[in-house]
């Protein structure tokens, strides 16, 4: 099965405590199996709450989700 890496990004964003906020990217993977995803996280300030990874289809229907960790444990 074909593989693909997306090693470049065009933006970064800050997420603030006390708000429901999301960051995302779009990657179309026709006829491929997603076996690995990576995210680069860094902490600003004193965030709290869970960081949740969600995978959605183009109609924004949930495919899968997982709690990665509590935001307070991310390094700066």
57 lies in a domain?
yes
Within-domain flag for 43: yes
- Per-residue pLDDT band for 15 (boundaries 50, 70, 90) equals low
Helices and strands counted in the chain (H then E): 0, 2
Confirm if 45 and 17 have CB atoms less than 8 A apart. yes
Check: pTM over 0.85? Answer yes or no.
Answer: no
Proportion of the chain above pLDDT 90, given as a percent: 5
> Which pLDDT does position 58 carry in this prediction?
81
Domain-embedded: residue 2:
no
Is 44 among the domain residues? yes
User: How many folded domains does the chain comprise?
Assistant: 1
The verdict on residue 51 lying in a domain is yes
Q: What would the two tokens of residue 69 be?
A: 């960790």
Is 42 inside any structural domain? Answer: yes
- 69: which strand partners? 51
Considering the domain boundaries, does residue 29 fall inside one? no
CB 25 within 8 A of CB 53: no
Domain membership of residue 51 as a residue range: 38-76
């Amino acid at each position: 099965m074909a593989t693909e890496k997306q090693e470049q990004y065009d933006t970064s964003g800050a997420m603030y405590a006390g708000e429901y906020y999301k960051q995302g990217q779009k990657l179309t993977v026709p006829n491929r199996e997603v076996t690995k995803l990576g995210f680069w996280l860094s902490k600003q300030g004193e965030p709290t709450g869970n960081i949740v990874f969600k995978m959605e289809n183009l109609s924004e229907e949930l495919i899968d989700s997982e709690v990665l960790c509590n935001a307070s444990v991310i390094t700066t």
